[in-house]
Structure 1
């Protein structure tokens, strides 16, 4: 770029000089042209004003006038001379000798201008007209024609034409400096850009990844910039590939190391397990030897129970966490093992109560069967250790928790509670220090470890104890089962009634619970239930119970349960079967698969009072009835044409159609010839009763519908057949 400037400087100076010279010459000739014009204009003025000059005959005055003309000229006038056309000089002012002999071509008729030695010589013809006596100018005479010789000496002011020359020269010089500055900046930027590119190339050579050129460069360097960026991208891609390969290799190495560590840990765990199993087997053999030594002091059943416990414990310890899980239907599992649990407690005179959660019905869990089968009887066995225990409650529930689904098993007993040693042993995880008669504790600890369960023990002196185990359920499957429609339940214990209602709600759509014999009598007549489950209280009012159970057995499937202490009395007093085995949900499920449940009767209430309808909905909410409500007769007729209702409670005073007219139209519909239609009114005189009867109504229900009157409606729902008012 600098060399280019050096090569350009001389031609530029020559061009500037030529421009300055051309400017000076142009200005010089322009000035000459302006002077010629001024001289011509001045000469023309003299021709117009020549009358006074030519009429003057005095030589001195004529010369004075010529001097006046000389000094009045804007252009320096050196000499002025007046000639006749014949060439005779009349007057002159400072006529140079060189011009005294000048003789122009005569006659001088036109203005002429010529340059003589840096001076301008102008010839201007003049004419004097003869005086007119009659007011008319006459043609000039030949001797009356003159001409002026004017010698101008223009002053040449060099500063005048040198100024534009200087300006042109200065402009050229400034332009030269600007070009030089621009070229210097361009050269400096080019040097900077080249240094940047060199630096980036050096970074690429060293393998750096941030070698992209993001700065703005000169247009000439853009291809090189693009090439460097492409090279940087390629190098970054290669680096990423290399990094990925290195990362993969590191991951592979880490996996190999992890596998090696896992193998080592598994090997150590296996060695530890083998050692533990060896010690456990040795301990079991010692326990079996102790049991053999004590065999003569034990009954056959006690010896068999202790031997079975030791063998179960040995099998659990051998299997450990490797025991395979199998699908187990929870309700069937409980029904199978509850008999074993009851037999254990019968020997000690302890009453067994079983409570199953609503989530147990149709629930299939996947757990090691040996562990689960061993845990349930051993928990019952452990609970019976409490001194003074007379009643034991076993609860089995499937519960949803924040951490997941768990199977909760708990044994609650009355009496004095567990001993401190038993609580201490349960809170430890060591089974090797336990004696042969503590196999139930050892089995629970082994099952807890195998199933990764949580165990809690609570015991208060004089208030009994509770042992609870929570088992996580990684796999839970819902198994479909037939659901009953309505069950009637009796339980004299209010707390147990609530628990059993919740439990039975899993297998029935509606559970009617009661804890009083009078309430049971009332509810038993309201509807023919699918199942009736009675947990008989202490024997009392045996005749009433005998009559009620006989009637219930004739209408529904009846299940009766009694405590062991009262079983003989109840079996002697009642004509139905009374069971001692604790009630379990599997019993209802098995019955439900063999029978088809009846649906709830469908009741339609027609009333234009929203308060009455809201109150009826509240009353019917807990009753075995499907309820529909409308507020006018037209809607009632429309619904009855599309659906079938078992009972219709019909208001008499409706806003659109009178109730009796609605009843007449209903009797004309197919399927409603014998459906019970009940008049719903606040009053009914004898003639009104006759009108209702004539319209086809079956009974009268007086407003408001109180709980006592509700039984009248439910009776019609239970019967499901027509009857007359009479």
Structure 2
């Protein structure tokens, strides 16, 4: 047995050394293969990022752009450099070691990867228009070379710890076996020497046979006990070796899974690069706005899928944010398509914590996907914040037509990103963002019934105090369903809100009550004779929105805006613009400060501009500069009587028909006749009765 172990030990040492060397060279080979694949993918990515804006960057901006690309690389990059075709260096980022000479760059030839001085380097050709910088020369076309030098990667011995652990346990097992065999041999020799001494002793000749049997019996018993202990130790060592082997197999399985994931990620990156190239090649098939949106979605998909992007939530009011985002979103609409934005009342009365970038990308992806509905021309986008428990942001896009093509519906239902085409960045980002923000995404697409795309996003919000509009608003919309939704949303803005959905009802309401603002959501059909007469006769402030299909016809009759521009946050601005020109002006001529202050209190809640004059001279001077809608004139002024002031006002061309009311404490029949002969229309007695004064203002249509 000893000879066997002496023969086994050199074989074991040679095998262990061979295994370590094989693991070392295998890792070196694997690192080189991974590095080559990473260099090829990163060179394509950097080329795609630099090429669109290369002709508009200075040398310093190029170096800064290369530094940003070096920082965002998925593997450590030591140096990024741009060369001209003759080897002249244009820009560099992170150069911490000598760069290759021009003759070394020429040695690349047609190969994009080369190993120089024991390190792999990548050289990527980039073609661009001539850069507007003197140091770059005056050539019409520049052939640039992008050089990528990765960081050196140390030997990762931690990946081979299972092999080292298995070798340790095997060595320990061999050492224990050798030790046990040595102890067993020593004990056998001791036992034989003891027996020999007893047999050769003269005192033991008579009873040697009697003493030999018990001694041998005890020795054999001890030997059996030792063998049992040795067997137990061997069993423990065997179990430990088996456990080490299981751990080695488990590590190998994890390593294989990691390699498989890396391979899948490389395939995803290659597929993304191919789709990006196809998108650039086929940009002429898309409108500039849609191409820019798809390119933005594709770039952000790469950031969220292949990089680590941290969410940056902000506290924002949804209605105000949507008003700022509408121009960019509405630019995606093709000619002949209409879009209506419908909001909820909680959009005004609450702030939500959300990442604005993710919200814009989600709306952009939904809108780009909705525009792919076959024969779809009319879209409705609902952006509703539901503050009930749990708080949810509900996004719903409805489009008429025949719905999405079948292959898109199948991709949305199955969620397979491997089948996406060059224009499917909207689907990819919609599914990816829905998973990241834990939103529920549901798509319904049926032939003849159109498309319905729903996203329910759980969020947190806080209540917000909102100011109501001081005046009355009348909303007209021929679509009853859309009218009811907008009426419910606008109810959070003003307490004096009315609505109607027919032209006859609209005309009747305008004759019954005065409104500070009229919002007209004009119908989609071409305007008829009744609408033409109405728009020519309406005198109150109004703002009109028309759908794209009949926008040009309505624009010829009345100034109007596209219906896609209407949102809740724009209503206060519209109201302010309308009331700025429709606010009535009242002049009170009285030298009593108490009367002036009391009138100011009475009209404080009315959309009336109050002017005050304390003398006849001041009143005449103000009237020469400003046109008033009603004058309240005191009879007893310190410089001239009120009747004389009224006569001079009637001589002015602008005040021949303006109502002038005598403001006096008493009025006899003769005095009333004198007031009217001076040009006054009516009499207001002091002290003022608030109810009568309010009715007086209403009768002269000051509100």
Q: Is TM > 0.5 for Structure 1 vs Structure 2?
A: no
Q: Kindly name which structure, 1 or 2, has the bigger radius of gyration based on alpha carbons.
A: 1
TM-score (norm 1): 0.43
TM-score (norm 2): 0.44
